[in-house]
Amino acid sequence: MPFVRIDLRRGRTEEELQAVSRAVHRALTETAGVPEDDYFQVITQHEAGEFRYDPGYLGISRTDSLIFIAITMGRGRGAETKRALYARTAQLLEESAGVRPEDVMIIVTENTLEDWSFGQGIAQHARGDRTGGEAR
């Protein structure tokens, strides 16, 4: 049950945005056990003055093609799963969207089942309420 925010510099084509979106989702399904239909993302493009980063932090050479990926998901995935997610995301972004691994920054934030409402004003997972769809 991830919610993904993808932030990048303005200027990408619709095809590039689609490739980025699909790569991130595929990495989540392959490494973190996310179902195919659990697909919730917001992609935001920013003007140059709204998108700031250190081009050499931790010795990693970043360019204006940098993508910030913020993933909020339920607790329970260990460090090994997260490392696999980071690596697979970078690999798929390079293969499908031509994004250098150095230009991929990922932040995972975990929360609990009570922190999610998928609609109808119900915390579907916390209550075991399957109204409006099967809880995962």
Sole residue written with tokens 């998108």 = 51
d(CA 70, CA 119): 21
d(CA 43, CA 10): 11
Residue 101 among the catalytic residues? no
Among candidate residues 2, 35, 55, 101, the one labeled active-site is: 2
**Nearest 5 degrees, angle CA 105-CA 112-CA 76?**
65
Strand order in 3-9's β-sheet? 41-46, 3-9, 67-74, 104-111
Catalytic residue annotation: 2
